[in-house]
Amino acid sequence: MESAAARATTAATAGCLAAFILLAAAAGAALSAATGGLLDLLTDDKPASSNALADIPPGMAPLYQQAALTCPGLPWSILAAIGKIETDHGRAANQTSTAGAVGPMQFLPSTFAQYAEPVPPGGAVPPTPWDPVDAVHAAARLLCASGARNGSDIRAAVFAYNHANWYVDKVLVQAREYAGADPLILTAPNRAAATAVVFARSKIGTPYEWGGTGTDGHGYDCSGLTQAAYAAAGIPIPRVAQDQYNATTKLPPGSALLPGDLVFYGTSTTDITHVGLYVGGDQMIEAPRTGIPVRQASYRPPGLSFVGATRPVR
């Protein structure tokens, strides 16, 4: 929720804009051929590779991210790798296997029924393995119940999805490609920042709502979105944009920004009117003014005066 001064200038300012970048809450890879492809995806916080950005359809990318957030320790890249191998992220012409598995994540109907509830936001009612939202969230639940929670045994989780070691190895190799570091995309400074970016990315398209924090079906305003993003990472920050600026660690002018940094706009450091979440590549995610949903643009858009940036977690 912005200050009274912010509300007065909301209509005149270019609002809140967002970036398309896939960043895992927990991504990174270390493949060992000696152990048959054991992959520890949880050791480092790394951004998605350019391979992932180019290969995963925009409609599927946020589904993998949102579903992974429901299972702490499950990398989004594992879900994406399974989606790639099963049906090329739903692009395969034939999505019915000889064994009777169906849909983008190739579920047997009987297995899907065990993991279909609760219906995720945007899913079909009743849930169906043919619906991408239902299928990806059901896959996350299956993996979570089979060893992915807290990253305890990712390999066992994937094996539970398809009981074949060659399949597990193939998924882990694909996940490594999707989660690999790309020198063109700055790395988040820590896991909390990466989680905040993943959360914010998943909210692109959510309606703007002044005073909104995303609860109970509501939309977001600028500071509501950034507060919710860091809440998803377990980091409390204040509600109002000015207070967020005051409470978080200031970056010196000219500092290189990292994904997860908060970027602020206004007339001065004591008159903050807007806040966004920087995601790399000179882009930010932010909730715009009334009538414009969360969307993408440069973090230096026309009409907004950049005041400075902060880093909530070092």
Shared domain check, 233 and 168? no
- Asked if pLDDT for residue 44 goes beyond 50, the answer is no
Residue that terminates a domain, selected from 129, 150, 179 = 179
Rounded CA-CA distance 304/286 in Å is 13
Shared domain check, 202 and 165? no
Shared domain check, 236 and 293? yes
Shared domain check, 167 and 37? yes
Shared domain check, 215 and 144? no
Shared domain check, 133 and 70? yes
**pLDDT score for 188:** 59
Shared domain check, 262 and 222? yes
**pLDDT score for 58:** 76
CATH at 202: 3.90.1720.10
The residue type of 217 is: G
| Beta-bridge partner residues of 234 | none
**pLDDT score for 39:** 30
Average of per-residue pLDDT across 15-32: 27
Shared domain check, 232 and 134? no
Nearest-5° Cα angle at 14, 260 to 20: 40
In a domain, 98, yes or no: yes
Shared domain check, 11 and 39? no
Per residue in 139-169, pLDDT (tens digit) is: 999 999 999 887 778 889 999 999 999 999 8
Rounded CA-CA distance 18/87 in Å is 29
DSSP strand pairing (38-39 vs 31-32): antiparallel
In a domain, 294, yes or no: yes
**pLDDT score for 20:** 23
| Beta-bridge partner residues of 295 | 286
CATH at 91: 1.10.530.10
Nearest-5° Cα angle at 146, 140 to 151: 75
**pLDDT score for 70:** 87
Per residue in 74-112, pLDDT (tens digit) is: 888 899 999 999 999 999 999 999 999 999 999 999 999
> With a threshold of 0.85, does the pTM exceed it?
no
Residue that terminates a domain, selected from 179, 199, 231 = 179
Shared domain check, 206 and 126? no
Per residue in 240-289, pLDDT (tens digit) is: 999 999 999 999 998 888 889 999 999 999 999 999 999 877 889 999 88
**pLDDT score for 12:** 32
Shared domain check, 137 and 211? no
Residue that terminates a domain, selected from 179, 199, 229 = 179
**Phi, then psi, of 44 in degrees rounded to 5:** -130, 160
As for how many domains the chain has, the answer is 2
**pLDDT score for 11:** 34
| Beta-bridge partner residues of 251 | none
Q: For the chain, what is the radius of gyration of the CA atoms?
A: 20
**pLDDT score for 180:** 66
Average of per-residue pLDDT across 21-47: 30
In a domain, 292, yes or no: yes
In a domain, 25, yes or no: no
Per residue in 179-228, pLDDT (tens digit) is: 764 333 334 567 788 788 878 888 989 999 999 999 988 999 999 999 99
Q: Is the Cβ–Cβ distance between 235 and 192 less than 8 Å?
A: yes
In a domain, 290, yes or no: yes
Domain limits at 236?
Answer: 4-20+187-311
Write down the mean pLDDT value for the chain: 81
Shared domain check, 175 and 40? yes
Rounded CA-CA distance 260/19 in Å is 12
In a domain, 133, yes or no: yes
In a domain, 265, yes or no: yes
Alpha carbon of 187 to those of 25, 97, 276: distances in Å?
12, 39, 18
In a domain, 26, yes or no: no
